[in-house]
Every structure is written in structure tokens, then in C-alpha cells.
Amino acid sequence: MLGAFILHPKNSYRPRVDKDFAILLQEYAVLPNNPTPNSMSMEFNWLTFNGKSGPATAPMIIRLGDRVRIRLINLGMDHHPIHLHGNTFYVTGTEGGRQPETLWGPGNTVLVGVAQARDIEFVASNPGDWMLHCHLPHHMMNAMASVVGRMTRNMNMPAGAGMEEGMGIMSRGNATSEDKGASLGRGMGAGATMDVNTTNGALTSGKANEAMTGMQHMDHEPMEGRDQSSMSMAVAPNANSVPGFPQDAFMEGPMMAMDKMVERPGNLGLRPGWSGFMQGMMSFVRVLPPDMYDKVMAQVRQAPKKLENSMPGMEHHHGR
């Protein structure tokens, strides 16, 4: 169970808000093939809003023109610069209480430090589906894979080390030991391609084409106006002529879309493929015109009032 105790004042704060949300920031160390977080680890790779990571986080549904308060409470051991797209907010309170209005200042990002809380308020005057997320890139990319090894893909080079080294914990030697190359850090899924046999220099056109096998489907068309669920990542056709490509991870985007898996009433009307760009500490602030707001909220109210797995198929079944 996770929640917040909120003590409301006898006299309501002014100006009055129409929507009041609480988001608790947490982080865990979840090693490969282990569903139980390592509570003793200080190297976190799974970060959450209210116990969920994007795209399984619940969006905040707001009527266009409403005044909104979002209470950000950091229960973790990292600082988080929380960034809101599409709207400008004011920091109106902290873990110490309401701030005098003379201290309010406009912003799009607020740093929520360890054991801190920040209340932000804004008038939702800009319609759209706006991301709210931590702006540290590795906090937006959960379940990173460990990729440690030479940046150039040469013959018979060790592929790297284990998850501990990938998370900066050296089990022996040091980061520049002969059996370790430059660390590529933590990547994600398909973006974390391991070393393959090649030369240290630029590839010939023939070798480049051979190395690009299976990547011919990638194209460079713009995202705008496209069905993002069927998009592929844009990679230059001659990318493998660059020694060491790919040099670290990039967000997979459409190749990671799972709209159906995380379907919920509050997601009604989101663009196809939206889930491919939501990972880690991410959620949506959905500022909707009155008719669409009423439609989405009707779906939310009619949804079964029971606890459901927001990512079916990902359950862990203990052996008997």
C-alpha cells in the first residue's frame, strides 16, 4: 500500500483548485531474472510514480480551464527534476507547508530533492496530452541492460561484464583493466546491442551492408501524422561504417509500444503507439476539452472497482 497523508487547512487555500493530485516518487534495484527488489542496493534501475512506471502509470485527467495542484513527494534516495510539458506552473508549497504567494515563481521544471515535497499549481489552459516526467534521462528508461566493453567491435573482444559492473559496481579490477573496455553504461533492450566481430576501423561498403542485415526496414520519415505503433527507428543506412556504432542506447520508441497491454479507461483517445515513448518516471497530464473530458471520466467511473494488474502477462508465479 502506498499513499500520502494530507492535512487540509480549516480555511481553504486561495486560489481554490479544481483538481488535486499526489505523486510519490520511488526507486528500486531490480536485478535480471529477479522479481524482488534488492532493498540493500544503492544502485537503482527501476523508478516509479505511485509505485508504477510508464506506460503503466495512471494519467491525470483534467478539464480544460481547471486549476490544478500536483503534490510531488520524494520517498527515494535520488533527486528528481520533474518537468511538465505544455504548461507553466508555480511552486506553491513544500514539505514545510504552504509558501507565501510572494515566493511563487513560474517554471516548467522543479527539483524535488531527497525527502522533499513540492506542490505545483497551474491553470490548464493548453489542451493536449502532456508528459510529466523526471528529466534525468536514465530515470526515464527503466529495465536498462548492462553493456560493458570496448566501444569498437573488434574480433574476440570480451563482450563486457555483469549487471554489477554495468551499474558501476566493480567486482574485481577497475574500469580500465585490460579485460574491460570503455563502459557504455546502461542501455535498453534493442538499443543495448552487444559487441559483434568487426574491425576497429570504418567498414567497407560490403561489410557495412552485411552488418546492416535485418535493419533495412528502418527509415527516416517524420513522426508527425504517422501511426506510431507501426513506426521503426530512424537509423542512417551507413550507420555501421562508424566504428563502434551503436554507441550506447537510445529510447526505442515505437518498437516498445504496448498500448493494449496497458489499456485503461484514462488512456481513451491517446494516439496509437503512445506507450512506446513512456518509460520510468513518466505520466501524462491530459488537458481535455469538456466533451472529451466527460467521455473519459464516464469511462473511468464505469470501470470495475477492483485491483487489476496494469500489465497482464507480466505476473510472477511462485513455484509450489
Rounded to two decimals, the pTM is: 0.68
The 3 state secondary structure assigned to 285-312 is EEEECHHHHHHHHHHHHHCCCCCCCCCC
- Closest of 227, 232, 236 to residue 259, by C-alpha: 227
Contact 78, 29 (CB under 8 A): no
| CA atoms of 120 and 105, how far apart (whole Å) | 10
Query: Is residue 311 pLDDT above 70, yes or no?
Result: no
Percentage of the chain lying above the pLDDT 90 cut = 42
Which cell numbers hold the place of 238?
A: 551507413
| CA atoms of 165 and 174, how far apart (whole Å) | 10
**Helix-, strand-, coil-residue percentages of the chain, each rounded to 5:** 15, 25, 60
Which cell numbers hold the place of 185?
A: 553504461
pLDDT of res. 157: 43
Q: Give 134-168 pLDDT, tens digit per residue.
A: 999 888 877 554 444 334 444 444 444 445 554 55
pLDDT of res. 175: 52
Structure confidence at residue 284 as a pLDDT band (50, 70, 90): very high
Q: Which residues, including other chains, have CB under 8 Å from residue 196's CB and lie 6 or more apart?
A: 153, 211
- In the beta sheet, which residues pair with residue 106? 90
Q: Give 183-210 pLDDT, tens digit per residue.
A: 444 444 333 333 334 444 555 566 556 6
- Closest of 119, 30, 115, 23 to residue 75, by C-alpha: 115
| CA atoms of 159 and 146, how far apart (whole Å) | 10
pLDDT of res. 38: 81
Neighbours of 173 (CB within 10 A): 12
Q: Give 37-84 pLDDT, tens digit per residue.
A: 887 777 788 899 999 998 999 999 999 999 999 999 999 989 999 999
| CA atoms of 145 and 192, how far apart (whole Å) | 6
| CA atoms of 91 and 112, how far apart (whole Å) | 11
